[in-house]
Each structure stands twice: as structure tokens, then as C-alpha cells.
Amino acid sequence: MKIVKTKEEVRAAVKEWKAEGLTVGFVPTMGYLHEGHASLMKLAGENDRVVVSIFVNPMQFGPNEDLASYPRDLERDSSVCEEQGVDLIFNPEPEEMYPQDFSSFVDMTGPTEELCGSSRPGHFKGVCTVVNKLFNIVKPDKAYFGQKDAQQFAVIKRMVRDLDMDLEVVAAPIIREEDGLAKSSRNKYLNKEEREAALILSRSLQLGRDMLEAGETDVAAIVKAIEDKIKTEPLAKIDYVKIVDASSIKPVETVKEQVLVAMAVYIGKTRLIDNFIFEK
């Protein structure tokens, strides 16, 4: 496994592989890798070669967000990648990705507008721009994203379709701790009490899933039940609880086809997200 810092090194490696007719799978990450990321790398193993990028992308953090404190541990990350048989880690410095007079961006209306799009203005512009760049550098056959960032997956899928990027984007299931908490690099911020309180996300989602499986189709009723459940947890503060069309991320009033039930909840100062997709 090689770790490289420059685009040129990635390009050279990929070019060589492609010349040999090998396929390339790609897992873009911000590092501090957990079992969720490992599951993406495992999936990417269906390709001949696997590239992982580790880059805490400044452009997708808002001015009051956790860019500076976002956890980083390249050494540990490298062993996770090594274990999963990754061939190449791309770990650029911000200057390698954004030269001083950098001025282009990729953005989107539609799927970016609800959920995290409204609570994190500019977030998806940063995500689209960096992922667009990474796709152009790595030129993967397939790229892998976690279903935990369900809206991010819908946004990337739309960008690839709209801009005619020649690759397939694949979503992988959410990986959870034994007690149900969705794995996240941000779980590291939680103290013991908050860690316990954070279970309210998966538990309240389970309540929503139970209602849907029992045949409830009224979105407002399901959202209210979930919110009421979250409010029983004193350390939790709701950012949003929403039920939207899973591919357009547009609000729905009645559950008809495939919906995404998604939430962002602050536990203390830590903003956590979780979701599931329900097919009627």
C-alpha cells in the first residue's frame, strides 16, 4: 500500500493500472476511519484496485463548524486501509486541492435544499466540489459512499448523472455499534453520558420504522411521534426530523414509494445524523 500527497502521484498510479486493463474502486473519506469506512473498502474490493482518499475538506465546513477540531489520525487510518487491502491512500494537504486563486465550484439545487442543506448552508457546495475534483483525479470505475449520509449519496448520484461523469456510485448500509448507535467519526466527541443519550437517534428511528411497517402513511404523524420520543432525552436537541423522497430529497406528505426518514440531532454540542430508507 502506498500513501501519496499529490494528484500527480495518484494520476500516475491509476494510469498504469488502467493501461493494464484493471478496474478502480474509490472510497473518499475525511479520515478517522471506523468500521463504516472499512465496510466501504471491503465492498470496493470488487474492483482490481482500491483507492482511499483521506482529506478533511475545508470547503464543506461552515464558519462555526468543527473543521479545526475534526479528529485526525493518519497512522491508525493507514492500518485500517492496510487491513482492507487498499492499494493507494491519497492524503493531500489543503493547498494541493485548493491553490490560492481557486475560484470554481460545483453546486446544486433540488436534492441539496432540505435536511442538512438547510441547516448547513454551503455544505453540499463543498462536498460536490471536492468529490468532483477527486473523481477527476482518481477516475474510478465505481465510488462508494455510506448510506448514513443519505442526502450526500443522493446529491453525489445526481451530480454524476447531471454532469455526465463516467462512473457508478454505490451506497453501502449503515454500520452500527452493538447498541444501535450509527458509527461516526464524530462519536469520539461524546462523553459517557452523551454516548448513552445518543441512543435516542436509533431508538426514535425504530419507532418510526415500526409505525411505517404497521401501515401508517401520514408523514406528519410519524415525524411528530419521532420528535416526541427524542424530546424525552434531556441532552438531545433536534436539528431536523424529516421524511422525504429518497432520490429527489423533496418533502412528501404521504408515504407512497421509497422514502428516506432522516434526522440530525445535537447531543450536547455534537451534531449526529441517522436515517433509514423505507420502501412501501
Which sequence positions are flagged as catalytic?
A: 37
- From the list 132, 151, 152, 204, which residue makes contact with its own copies (rule: CB under 8 A)? 132
165 binds its own copies (CB under 8 A): yes
Task: Considering the complex, state which of residue 90 and residue 189 has its C-beta at the smaller distance from its own copies.
Answer: 90
101 binds its own copies (CB under 8 A): yes
- The verdict on 100 binding its own copies (CB under 8 A) reads no
Which of 164, 178, 213, 279 touches its own copies (CB under 8 A)? 164
Rounded Cα distance between 12 and 170, Å, is 25
Q: Report the residue from 110, 122, 180, 268 that binds its own copies according to the rule CB under 8 A.
A: 110
Contacts of 253 (CB under 8 A, 6+ apart): 218, 219, 220
Other C-beta atoms closer than 10 Å to the C-beta of 191 total 12
Min dist. Cβ of residue 135 to its own copies (A):
9
For every residue of 14-58, DSSP letters joined together read HHHHHHTT--EEEEEE-SS--HHHHHHHHHHTTSSEEEEEE---G
CB 151 within 8 A of CB 249: yes
Annotated binding residues for (R)-pantoate, written as ranges, equal: 60, 152
Cα–Cα distance, 44 to 50 (Å, whole number): 6
Site string for its own copies, 240-269 (x = CB under 8 A): --------x---------------------
Which window, 38-46, 99-107, 197-205, 268-276, contacts its own copies (CB under 8 A)? 99-107
**Least CB distance to its own copies at residue 247 (A):** 9
Q: Which of the stretches 28-36, 97-105, 180-188, 266-274 binds its own copies when contact is defined by CB under 8 A?
A: 97-105
Give least dist CB 278 to its own copies, A.
22
DSSP label at 64?
T
**Does the protein bind its own copies through residue 158 (CB under 8 A)?**
yes
Stretch binding its own copies (CB under 8 A), from 71-79, 96-104, 175-183, 197-205: 96-104
Alpha-carbon distance 60 to 129, whole Å?
A: 9
Here the contacts of 71-77 (C-beta below 8 Å, separation 24 or greater) are 71/31, 71/32, 71/185, 71/188, 72/31, 72/32, 73/31, 73/32, 74/3, 74/31, 76/32, 76/33, 77/31, 77/32, 77/33
Candidate list 7, 34, 142, 237; residue touching its own copies; CB under 8 A: 7
Residue 249 falls in which region: left (phi positive, over 0), alpha (psi -120 to 50) or beta: left
Q: Which residues bind its own copies (CB under 8 A)?
A: 7, 11, 99, 101-112, 128-129, 132-133, 136-137, 139, 158-159, 161-166, 248
